[in-house]
Amino acid sequence: MRSLFWRIFASFWLAIALVAGLSILLGRMLNQDAWLLSQHPALENLAEKWAQHYETQGPHAAQALLERRKRRFNIDIQVLDESGQPVIKGTFPPRAAEFEARHRHGKRLPWRRLSTEYTSPTSGDTYLLIYRVPLPEIAAWQRNSLLWPLSALGIAMLVLSLISLLLTLSITRPLNRLRGAVHDLGQTAYQQNSLAKLARRRDELGVLAADFNRMGERVQGLISSQRQLLRDVSHELRSPLARLRIALALTARADAQEREKYWPRLDQECDRLEALISEILALARLDAEPGAAQPIDLKDLLYKLEDDARLDAPEQAISIQLDDSLQFSGWPDMLQRALDNLLRNALRFNPAGRPIEISAQREADQLIIRVRDHGPGVANEHLKHLGEPFYRAPGQTSSGHGLGLAIARRAAERHGGQLELANHAQGGFVAALRLPLNQPAARP
């Protein structure tokens, strides 16, 4: 994966390399013979001036001009005619040619040897001017010239500005798209494909966009489910409240003797309303932070559920099959509420004389807790809707609000598992909690 850190790191090093390379190229350009001949103050227009002195004032004036340049700039100059013979004495020291020949292929000479031809427009004669410029003089000229630092600074600023602009755009544009996605999410108008292109980037911003997509999808799903839950809760609460209003109205119009008949009805409706509110609160509490997982004694939990079930339905038989070696860690209250709802759901539909079967066994790295009844089961087309809040299969006449399986499903999901609902091959209905045996310290 390409890292944003390495992109920034490489951009800085690329900028440094480009600036260094351009500086080297500029330095070489400044060291070119043509550049030195046209820009150095000791050599600029020297050939033309010397020819004018020579042709108008004579050899002595031309020689004096060269000697003045030598004293000022420490540059030796020699002038040759078309046949290669010296026109004047020049300022080259004696035996200079012999010294250069002896060291041409050896150590580096302490000067630069330059030459230029000049044809006089007056006489038509061509002169070859040979310069011997000491290296310290060239270095001093380059240091004192403003062109070198200004050019290097300009190139450096240009290169760094371009690289900084590209790097800044590569970071700020994705951040602006992320900011827009955050705004859309806050307005509940987030579209998951708005960051699809950004999520394909193979750096930290791409990972962030992918995570944000998943978070946005999750948040949108939660908002949709909460809205649906509020609509369902509002619908479910209307029925008991309407019955309470009717009972209260009848009680208000009845005389003292007839009112006694309505008090049990009022109590019953209040109990139903309280039970519904309790189940809604239980479903809502499952979204709270459960804290650290704890070891759960499955044997004690299942037999406690059996004792509670016998109090409500003493005519029902319950068969428990449990592997005593099972060790499971989770959230006891959450798991107990889920199993209690599954067991009560089985008690509603199981016929008398047939036992409800509860089993807990290990399959690979999962704990499977099954609750089977011998009732009529559920039509296959309704199985996929079971577990949705307030959903009840058509034709169901037993009491309940359609929240028991929703609570069990949510509890399984909070444990990192799932609730499986199916009809048994030999008749009846099976609800199974499939939970991982290794639980984290806490689940968000």
Instruction: State pLDDT tens for residues 61-84.
Output: 999 998 898 888 888 888 888 888
pLDDT of residue 300 exceeding 60? yes
Range with the poorest average pLDDT among 59-68, 95-104, 209-218, 242-251: 95-104
Distance CA 211, CA 438 (A): 25
Residue 40: inside a domain: yes
365 within some domain: yes
Residues 48 and 134 in one domain: yes
CA 143, 148, 154, 158 dihedral sign is negative
CATH of the domain at 35: 3.30.450
Domain count of the fold of the chain: 3
Residue 111 lies in a domain: yes
Q: Are residues 303 and 419 in the same domain?
A: yes
pLDDT band at 400 (very low <50, low <70, confident <90, very high): low
Closest by Cα among 302, 304, 336 to 320: 302
Pick the more confident residue, 361 or 400. Answer: 361
Q: Confirm whether 441 is domain-assigned.
A: no
φ and ψ at residue 48, rounded to 5 degrees:
-65, -40
From 81, 76, 85, 83, select the one nearest 54 (Cα to Cα): 81
Round to whole Å and give the CA distance between 180 and 185. Answer: 9
Residue range(s) defining the domain that contains residue 305: 294-436
Q: Find, among 420, 404, 329, the residue nearest to 369 by Cα.
A: 420
* Domain shared by 300 and 427, yes or no: yes
Is residue 20, in this structure, part of any structural domain at all?
A: no
At residue 441 the predicted structure's pLDDT band, cuts being 50, 70 and 90, is very low
Answer with the one of 263, 285, 307 that is the final residue of a domain: 285
Asked if residue 180 belongs to a domain, the reply is no
Is residue 329 within 8 Å of residue 439, measured between CB atoms? yes
Same domain assignment for residues 78 and 38: yes
Provide the pLDDT confidence category of residue 35 given band limits of 50, 70 and 90: low
Identity of residue 324 = D
What six digits make up the tokens of 225? 């489910």
> Domain containing 358 — which CATH number?
3.30.565.10
In a domain, 25, yes or no: no
The CATH number of the domain where 224 resides is what?
Answer: 1.10.287.130
Tell whether 231 is covered by a domain.
Answer: yes
